[in-house]
Amino acid sequence: MVRYPFIPYQPERLSPDESARRGESFYRLMDRRRSVRDFSADAVPRQLIEQAIRTASTAPSGAHRQPWRFVVVGDPEIKRQIRIAAEAEEKKSYEERMPDEWLEALAPIGTTWQKPFLETVPWIVVVFEELYGYDAEGNKRKNYYVRESTGLACGLFIASLHNMGLSTLTHTPSPMAFLRNILGRPKNERPFILFPVGYPAAGATVPDFGRKPLEEVSLWDPKPDPDDNS
């Protein structure tokens, strides 16, 4: 068994004013982030993608297993294969599999089965969740809280890209098994989210929606309702 040595940890202690300033500026930065579906073909240096992956990989994870893999695709031929396979699945989903309620929920955003951005963007990053790993002897080793951990890493990935002035979309072509085949990933890895990464196309637009206010997304010291017997 590996035992990690413990080392002292005291992040810089900020004054409340300084904390508030930083909180405000980080919020303002993140509140400007929007999902993009119309990308330009402008190149993005590989180093920026590497930096976003490094940042994502700082996420907390169950038993510190870091059960994520960021598979980066820049090859136009592979991007084309991904587009063809994703559109085939999405077409079936939009035309046959998605119930009306779901289609109605998406109607205001205006999505369709067509995904030209999968070929336009300089990079596609497919995040895989690693369901289990292997120990030094090659025995299967279980990972923990894999979805939560990978979701947290994806959140940091998105934040890092946005901080660098890059745009992305949290894309989940469904079902996503084709990504394992095209990218040759082993069976302990399952596709989780696909991120096209680049810059918005000239003239790109996003739906003009706001965000839920704090009061709607938070509760402070709630008490159980004494009349609720459910």
Rule CB under 6 A: is residue 171 a binding residue for ligand IYR?
yes
Binding to ligand IYR (CB under 6 A): which residues in 67-96? 90
For residues 103 and 176, what is the distance between their CA atoms, to the nearest angstrom?
19
- CB of 139 vs ligand IYR, minimal distance in Å: 36
Rule CB under 6 A: is residue 37 a binding residue for ligand IYR?
no
Which range of residues in 122-130, 136-144, 170-178, 198-206 is near ligand IYR by CB under 6 A? Answer: 170-178
**The only residue of 19, 25, 174, 181 in contact with ligand IYR, by rule CB under 6 A:** 174
- CB of 155 vs ligand IYR, minimal distance in Å: 16
What is the SS3 string spanning 9-59? CCCCCCCHHHHHHHHHHHHHHHHCCCCCCCECCCCCCHHHHHHHHHHHCCC
Rule CB under 6 A: is residue 114 a binding residue for ligand IYR?
no
Instruction: Choose between 208 and 228: whose C-beta lies nearer to ligand IYR.
Output: 208
Longest dimension (CA), the chain: 62
Crossing angle of helices 16-31 and 146-163, in 10° steps, is 90
Rule CB under 6 A: is residue 173 a binding residue for ligand IYR?
yes
Instruction: Choose between 43 and 177: whose C-beta lies nearer to ligand IYR.
Output: 177
- Name the residues that contact ligand IYR, by CB under 6 A: 90, 106, 111, 171-174
